[in-house]
Amino acid sequence: MRVLIVEDDAALCRSLAATLRDEAIAVDMANDGEEGWIRAREEIYDAVLLDVMMPKLDGWEVLSRLRQESKVPVLMLTARDTIPDRVKGLDSGADDYLTKPFDNSELLARLRALIRRSAGSSQAVLTVGALQVDTARRQVTRNGVGVDLTAREYSLLEYLLLNRGKVLSRTLLYERLFDENDDSLSNLLDVHVSNLRKKLGAELITTRRGHGYIIE
């Protein structure tokens, strides 16, 4: 997953980024609305965390511009907690609205739900044969037995499952799963795919040579 955080409180922005990266979510950050708007246009994200009160462009304006050309899920983060503010956010095209201060576990749960719905899945548990992935608990079982995955292996597996039936190119997977904080080794993706095959079965992930990877 790749998420854009648009937040002018630099300390909060860094803290949110660290929380998401602990979940193996790739993160880009913008510290004002104008930078956020530019980044949102230049990159493809799985979700945007958007503050409201920001310099240059406020969150309402960024959201308005985004909705003219993008369906990316947007979770508004703001200290403005009145009902009219919440209604304005949702009516303006936000997919969810969370008031500050918030618990990180709630933020992550809402973010996961947004991304699942955006991918066309309303179920928290993804199933392929004997494999089950509980996206709410980030737990993987095969034939009812728990399987330990690293955070990055889990993130790759979840992304392939959310896009089941689609061939995902190496370029797209790198863009969605890794950010500038990650090791830039060119075979990093191959290593994670190889590890998943060892742990979950060689037949789970198919390589379409010259095109990418797919879970059928």
Quick check: helix, strand or coil at residue 9? coil
Question: What is the CATH topology of the domain spanning 125-215?
Answer: Arc Repressor Mutant, subunit A (1.10.10)
Which tokens sit at 74? 């947007």
From residue 77, give the alpha-carbon distance in Å to each of 57, 69, 110, 127: 15, 21, 12, 32
**Quick one: pLDDT at residue 94?**
92
Spatial CB neighbours of 95, under 8 Å, sequence gap ≥ 6:
73, 74, 75, 114, 117
- What are 14's two structure tokens? 């860094």
Instruction: Report pLDDT digits (tens) over 25-57.
Output: 999 999 999 999 999 999 889 999 999 989 999
Contact 74, 94 (CB under 8 A): yes
**Residue 182 scores a pLDDT above 80:** no
Characterize 34-49 residue by residue with b for buried, 16 or more Cβ atoms within 10 angstroms of its Cβ, and e for exposed: bbbbebbeeeebbbbb
Per the document, the length of the chain is 216
Mean pLDDT of all residues in the chain? Answer: 90
| Homologous superfamily (CATH) for 2-119 | Response regulator (3.40.50.2300)
- 166 within 8 A of 214, measured Cβ to Cβ: yes
Q: Say yes or no to pLDDT of 183 above 70.
A: no
The pLDDT assigned to 163 comes to 92
pTM for this entry? 0.83
Is residue 11 within 8 Å of residue 38, measured between CB atoms?
A: no
- In this predicted structure, what is the pLDDT of residue 185? 57
* Mean of pLDDT values over 79-97: 85
Where are the chain's structural domains? 2-119, 125-215
pLDDT at 184 over 60: no
Span 136-177, pLDDT tens digits: 888 999 999 999 999 889 999 999 999 999 999 998 998 888
Would you state the pLDDT for residue 120? 80
pLDDT at 50: 96
Please measure the distance between the N-terminal and C-terminal CA atoms of the chain and give it in whole angstroms. Answer: 20
Structure tokens at 53: 């009160």
**What does the pLDDT read at residue 166?**
94
Q: How confident is the model at residue 187 (pLDDT cuts 50, 70, 90)?
A: confident
Query: What's the CA angle centered on 208, arms 202 and 209, to 5 degrees?
Result: 110
Backbone angles phi, psi at 76, to 5 degrees: -80, 135
Mean pLDDT computed over 81-105: 87
Fold match, 2-119 / 125-215: no
Q: Region 121-140: what's the mean pLDDT? A: 89
Q: Which residues make beta-bridge pairs with 18?
A: none
148-169 CB burial, b ≥16 within 10 A, e <16 = ebeebbbbbbbbbbbbeeeebe
Q: Is the pLDDT of residue 24 over 60?
A: yes
